[in-house]
């Protein structure tokens, strides 16, 4: 039985995302404009708009649309802001950020995923993104400070290097914790030497590669 992708996309927005209190008009428009099934493997097309994580290879996942919507709403990216994303994946969340921001730099540790994301973004006509390949588990050097940083994989604790890379007034969204105890934090740089952290909601996300919790052995 063929999937009606237009109907599935509409239902994702109206029956999943909006009822989850994602009501920011710009976020909803981005979720409408970026077609999620274009960023998943052909074998998973039928599940593209379901409220579930989807495997994207290399032991990585695409987060559920509701969680992605909630993250974007918490971050509230403005159209004049420069964004640094940690974890490109197949480029779907990158594309959403690109709809909201002036420019997005996105870093991916898996070269094959970065190449796939570049193809997906090109196919979608999105050109305000720079993709980089490397290990950003502890830091990522940019030419200038940025307005927004987002990491959708979980940190046990947020590396200080990222907080230093924010403009004053800028903010970072990080999922912080381990196991089933994680929360979404917005960390805003108030002055050159002050940051303010606000927890927004609880969630669970895969750990950042090379920043996983240390396994404690019992003897």
- Assess whether pLDDT exceeds 70 at residue 44: yes
Domains in the chain, please, with CATH?
5-203 (3.40.50.150)
Span 111-159, pLDDT tens digits = 999 999 999 999 999 999 999 999 999 999 999 999 999 998 999 999 9
DSSP characters for 100-148? HSSEEEEEES-HHHHHHHHHHHHHTT--SEEEEES--SS----SS-EEE
């Amino acid at each position: 039985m063929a999937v009606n992708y237009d109907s599935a996309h509409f239902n994702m927005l109206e029956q999943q995302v909006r009822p989850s209190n994602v009501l920011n008009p710009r976020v909803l428009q981005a979720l409408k404009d970026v077609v999620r099934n274009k960023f998943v493997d052909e074998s998973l097309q039928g599940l593209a708009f379901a409220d579930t994580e989807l495997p994207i290879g290399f032991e990585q996942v695409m987060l559920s649309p509701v969680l992605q919507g909630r993250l974007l709403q918490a971050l509230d990216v403005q159209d004049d802001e420069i964004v640094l994303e940690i974890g490109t994946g197949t480029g779907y969340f990158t594309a959403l950020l690109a709809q909201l921001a002036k420019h997005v730099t996105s870093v991916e540790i898996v070269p094959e995923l970065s190449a796939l994301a570049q193809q997906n973004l090109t196919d979608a006509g999105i050109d305000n993104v720079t993709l980089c390949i490397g290990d950003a588990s502890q830091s990522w050097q940019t030419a200038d400070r940025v307005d927004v940083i987002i990491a959708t994989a979980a940190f046990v604790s947020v590396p200080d290097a990222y907080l230093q890379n924010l403009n004053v007034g800028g903010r970072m969204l990080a999922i912080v914790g381990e196991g089933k105890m994680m929360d979404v934090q917005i960390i805003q740089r108030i002055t050159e030497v002050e940051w303010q952290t606000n927890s927004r909601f609880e969630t669970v996300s895969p750990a950042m590669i090379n920043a996983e919790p240390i396994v404690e052995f019992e003897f």
